Structure 1
Amino acid sequence: MKRLITAVLAICLLVPAAVFAGGSKEGTGAQDGMIQIEFWHTMSGVNGGAIDKLAENFNSTIGREKGIIVKSVFQGNDNSEKLKTLAQAGDFRNFPDIAQIAGAGIPSAITYEQLVPVQSMFEKGGSTLTRDEIEPNMLRAYTYRNQLVGMPVSCSAILLFYNQDMFRSVGLDPNRPPATIADMAQAISKLMIKKGSTVDRYGLNVAVRRYQLSNFIGGQGTGNYFGDNEGGRTAPMTRVTFGDDGTLMAFLNEWEKVINTGGYKPVEDNINEEFALELFGMAIMSTARIGIVTNLVQDNFKWAVAPLPKVKATDTGGISVGGSCVVMFDPAKDSSRVNAAWEFVQYLASPDAQFQFHKDTGYIPVNRKVYELPGVDQWFAANPSYKVAVDAIHASNPIVQEPFDIINWEIDSVIREHMLNFATGKETKQQCHDAIVRECNEKLAAYHRANS
């Protein structure tokens, strides 16, 4: 027995302290000086593997050099709700050091005392990354009241996916995708196949929700806002403005042409798989779907992506930045942890990390220096779909963004319900318009009354 105890003690002395401290939320492995940073992300599957790979690369390079270990943790699809739940319980010590959140989560994040705005880290000086390296549209996406709150990391763009072989078979030019909604309606009429009243093949599949509508509203003219206070970026958004300025009705007038074709599917079931099965000729999806669709389609047919069709041919606003950023917190009131987290955040937005993440996932690089890296031109030449997304963002006005509408899930529900009712004939165009404007404003007013 004595020999067994002696052997166990000898093994314990040989095992690094980090092994025992590895699961600790508090962070410092006292015996080896390592600082552990907890990073909550929202990515699964291929994208989750890509984000975990970045954490592993950091740990084996910069982290090893500077004594930092990043623990990458998948927390489901909505970190903002998890953070909100912890905050409501007053459990701020269990906040992560870094969390990946969508732009819609920024209005909640700024209310937490533990938040460390990314801008404050830039202002301290001594950073390896500069603000000027980050794409202007992406900086704007996560800026509130002129303060950069989160670091852009996984940014996407909304695009039109279309089946080039199908276009060719019905007499449409496979290299000239629809430029406007009216053009898209004409293409739908040619692409759809009907047997009596049954649609065997649709021309287009997309469910118009908050994300899609914010792009169609924002892209009008030279650029437009979804709601007051610049869509919630200069102060909390209190009401939608697309009813007052006419942009919602302008969109609905054009979208009615899509509905009237009879070849539009307004509900998304398995949009990736159905596009691959050629159940419709066009779909409106995020650039983050390019890799998924590529794997599903393989060599079965030729397809491509194009910029989102405009409401009017003269519109130049472009599209908004989709995807997410990372925000930093100081749950332990420990400046060494904050500085260690900042090292990882800078790495995530660095040119090399962003190029690798882009190749692995299809998300658009947030760092402008990516385009100076060796092999980039060859990559985009071999993967032209990704370049379409990059060019679309570069051609867009930075003011065109998803709104900071605080109750984004409720706004999304309102838009989804009434756009579906319009598409299925349950509501007229005017009824759809008035209901969206009224209910969005009612819900925003109710929120502000309850949280004054």
Structure 2
Amino acid sequence: MKKLLSLILTALLTVSMFVGCSSNNDASDKDVSKNDTSKNDEKDTSTKDIIEIEFWHSASGVKGEATDQVAADFNATVGKEKGIFVKSVYQGNDVVAKLKTVSQANDVKNFPDVGQIYGSGIPAVMKMDPLVTVDEMFAKGDASISKNDLHPSFVRAFEYKNEMIGMPFNNSTILLYYNKDHFEEVGLDPEQPPTTIAELASATSKLMKLKGNKVDRYGLNVAIRRYQLSNFIGGQGEYNFYGDNEGGRTGQMTKVTFGEDGSLKKYLTEWDKLVKTGGYKPIEDNINEEFATGICSMAIMSTSRISTIHGLMGEDANFGVAYLPKVDAADKGGVSVGGGSLCLFDKGDSDKLNAAWEFIQYAASPEAQAKYSIATGYVAANLKAYDLPEMKSHLESHPEYQVAINQLNASNPNVQEPFDLIPWELDAIIKDTMAEFGSGNKTIDEAHDYIVEECNKKLAAYNRANN
């Protein structure tokens, strides 16, 4: 299957790790400090014939420390038992870019054994010859976990043509954050947050504050980019697709379809109600800090920022999280999965490949996923993690995380971030146009037509150049 994928997708370019919540959504969650990986650099040399594998990741700060700890815990348990040592290596924001460099040089020996690959990066790694899909490893049998242990939406997030490419690892979804004190101040029920964009607009108009002619407090802050838009498009009806071939998951995506099916116009029509309140901020400067300090009353952000907001607001934090508001009250699609997966690469050493598979299975185990979720705010991919006492205790004391889990459970697995080949280019079109629209400088029709036409021009040009 790997070879077939390589032929089908040989034209795919590498993508940046984050254009949008497999993209976007988690990119700005990262702490700027680099994590210390020294805890993983010391092997137990008393064990002979240790197999060392290299794990490239893009997590920094608190999330980086937690990622390194997964490797350290493996080394101290399964690795110690089986003679495997995982070296955890931070590779900056974009592991895929580093992989492209070694792939173009055909430098297989310098590939990692395991790489952390975000959803938007899956199309790029599928053309890399050393890739071994997770389904290929499952097919060998004797796995310590089952695909049935994993949340269906998380499995779908990293599938192409129904083959699972990477193992879900650091995953999130998108939520509405709201300041409960502000809600009470203006007479809104803090236990009844907005459920539709129309209700969001109504709340925004009440929450905003003016000082003279300038906004002193915004009702809502979020920049609509590729990832955010894909959620508003995908959630419509039972579920909806952003582009042809099920958003690039059953074949190469050649065009966006949200123009021809009317879903973009429907979304923009509702979002315009929000724009007209005057209390919506369409660009993100320091969204975490601005929400935490009360500069904006509501924000749309990743689940992985819950711990960040708690840290910024301190013990007196009084905020809630809610499902992403729907375009229409009757919509049932829900939201997509953001974040990344773990992919395997075969460097010509079967022992290393099998050792890497041991590590990936460990990282997806209930115990490892529960610990990682508690430490980072990501949503555990392994359903059995929620049966563990420590996870139950965590969710009881931090009910915000349960909201994220409930939202994913209520979502259709077909609602996913698209495999759109050139996500960074489409993201730029959507981000810039929605900023103009959000500032009142483009009409519904102007924004709609520009996004559809420009996205399809970019996709057509890419496909012509790479056939």
Q: Distance in 1 between matches of 2:178 and 2:251?
A: 39
Q: Where does residue 9 of structure 1 map in the other structure?
A: none
From 237, 240, 258, give the equivalent of 1:221. 237
One-letter amino acid of the counterpart of residue 268, structure 2? L
Deviation at 1:30, TM superposition (A): 12
Q: Where does residue 357 of structure 2 map in the other structure?
A: 342
Cα deviation code 1:200-238 (max 9, x no counterpart): 000000000001000000000011101000000001111
Q: Where does residue 426 of structure 1 map in the other structure?
A: 441
From 432, 438, 442, give the equivalent of 1:417. 432
One-letter amino acid of the counterpart of residue 313, structure 2? V
Q: Distance in 1 between matches of 2:350 and 2:126?
A: 19
Q: Distance in 1 between matches of 2:142 and 2:158?
A: 22
| Contact residue 58 and residue 116 of structure 2 kept, 8 A | yes
One-letter amino acid of the counterpart of residue 403, structure 1? P
Q: Which sits farther off after the overlay, 365-374 or 315-324?
A: 365-374
> How does 1:201-220 map onto structure 2 within 5 Å?
201-220=217-236
Cα deviation code 1:41-65 (max 9, x no counterpart): 1100110010111110000110010
Q: Where does residue 450 of structure 1 map in the other structure?
A: 465
Count of residues in correspondence between the two structures: 427
Q: Where does residue 18 of structure 1 map in the other structure?
A: none
Q: Where does residue 10 of structure 1 map in the other structure?
A: none
Q: Where does residue 274 of structure 2 map in the other structure?
A: 258
Deviation at 1:81, TM superposition (A): 1.6
Q: Distance in 1 between matches of 2:440 and 2:297?
A: 23
Q: Where does residue 13 of structure 1 map in the other structure?
A: none
Question: What SS class does the counterpart of residue 32 from structure 1 fall into?
Answer: coil
CA RMSD of aligned residues (A): 1.6
One-letter amino acid of the counterpart of residue 381, structure 2? V
Identical-pair percentage? 54
Question: What SS class does the counterpart of residue 121 from structure 2 fall into?
Answer: helix
2:202 is aligned with 1:183: no
Q: Distance in 2 between matches of 1:377 and 1:300?
A: 24
Q: Where does residue 131 of structure 2 map in the other structure?
A: 115
One-letter amino acid of the counterpart of residue 280, structure 1? C
Deviation at 1:93, TM superposition (A): 2.2
| Structure 1: 5+ residue stretches without partners | 1-21
2:310 is aligned with 1:303: no
One-letter amino acid of the counterpart of residue 462, structure 2? Y
**Does the C-alpha gap of structure 1 residues 47 and 187 become closer, same or farther in structure 2, counting only changes over 3 Å?**
same
Q: Where does residue 330 of structure 2 map in the other structure?
A: 314
One-letter amino acid of the counterpart of residue 366, structure 1? A
Q: Where does residue 8 of structure 1 map in the other structure?
A: none
Q: Distance in 2 between matches of 1:186 and 1:31?
A: 65
Q: Where does residue 89 of structure 2 map in the other structure?
A: 73
Q: Where does residue 436 of structure 1 map in the other structure?
A: 451
One-letter amino acid of the counterpart of residue 433, structure 2? H
Q: Which sits farther off after the overlay, 180-189 or 300-309?
A: 300-309
Deviation at 1:196, TM superposition (A): 3.0
One-letter amino acid of the counterpart of residue 35, structure 1? I
Q: Where does residue 281 of structure 1 map in the other structure?
A: 297
Deviation at 1:316, TM superposition (A): 0.6
Q: Which sits farther off after the overlay, 295-304 or 405-414?
A: 295-304
Cα deviation code 1:121-177 (max 9, x no counterpart): 000001111111011000000000111000001110100000001100000000000
Q: Where does residue 143 of structure 1 map in the other structure?
A: 159
Question: What SS class does the counterpart of residue 48 from structure 1 fall into?
Answer: helix
Cα deviation code 1:367-386 (max 9, x no counterpart): 01112212433321111000
Q: Distance in 2 between matches of 1:31 and 1:307?
A: 50
**Does the C-alpha gap of structure 1 residues 278 and 429 become closer, same or farther in structure 2, counting only changes over 3 Å?**
same
One-letter amino acid of the counterpart of residue 358, structure 2? E
| Contact residue 243 and residue 255 of structure 2 kept, 8 A | yes
From 54, 71, 85, give the equivalent of 2:101. 85
> How does 1:163-178 map onto structure 2 within 5 Å?
163-178=179-194
Q: Where does residue 270 of structure 1 map in the other structure?
A: 286
Q: Distance in 1 between matches of 2:460 and 2:118?
A: 23
Instruction: Give TM-score scaled by structure 1 length.
Output: 0.92
| Structure 2: 5+ residue stretches without partners | 1-39
Q: Distance in 2 between matches of 1:64 and 1:31?
A: 8
Q: Which sits farther off after the overlay, 246-255 or 422-431?
A: 422-431
2:385 is aligned with 1:370: yes
Question: What SS class does the counterpart of residue 301 from structure 2 fall into?
Answer: strand
**Does the C-alpha gap of structure 1 residues 30 and 294 become closer, same or farther in structure 2, counting only changes over 3 Å?**
closer
Question: What SS class does the counterpart of residue 242 from structure 1 fall into?
Answer: coil
Deviation at 1:31, TM superposition (A): 8.5
Q: Which sits farther off after the overlay, 422-431 or 354-363?
A: 422-431
Question: What SS class does the counterpart of residue 159 from structure 1 fall into?
Answer: strand
Q: Where does residue 420 of structure 2 map in the other structure?
A: 405
Q: Distance in 2 between matches of 1:445 and 1:84?
A: 23
2:58 is aligned with 1:58: no
Q: Distance in 2 between matches of 1:299 and 1:35?
A: 45
Question: What SS class does the counterpart of residue 174 from structure 1 fall into?
Answer: coil
Q: Where does residue 401 of structure 2 map in the other structure?
A: 386
| Contact residue 134 and residue 366 of structure 1 kept, 8 A | yes
Q: Where does residue 212 of structure 2 map in the other structure?
A: 196
Q: Where does residue 132 of structure 1 map in the other structure?
A: 148
2:68 is aligned with 1:36: no
Q: Distance in 1 between matches of 2:46 and 2:433?
A: 57
Q: Where does residue 395 of structure 1 map in the other structure?
A: 410
One-letter amino acid of the counterpart of residue 72, structure 1? S
| Contact residue 165 and residue 301 of structure 1 kept, 8 A | no
Q: Where does residue 5 of structure 1 map in the other structure?
A: none
| Contact residue 47 and residue 83 of structure 2 kept, 8 A | no
Q: Distance in 1 between matches of 2:101 and 2:351?
A: 26
2:248 is aligned with 1:232: yes
Q: Distance in 2 between matches of 1:363 and 1:407?
A: 26
Deviation at 1:446, TM superposition (A): 1.2
Deviation at 1:301, TM superposition (A): 4.0
One-letter amino acid of the counterpart of residue 255, structure 1? W
Question: What SS class does the counterpart of residue 250 from structure 2 fall into?
Answer: coil
One-letter amino acid of the counterpart of residue 102, structure 1? Y
One-letter amino acid of the counterpart of residue 85, structure 1? T
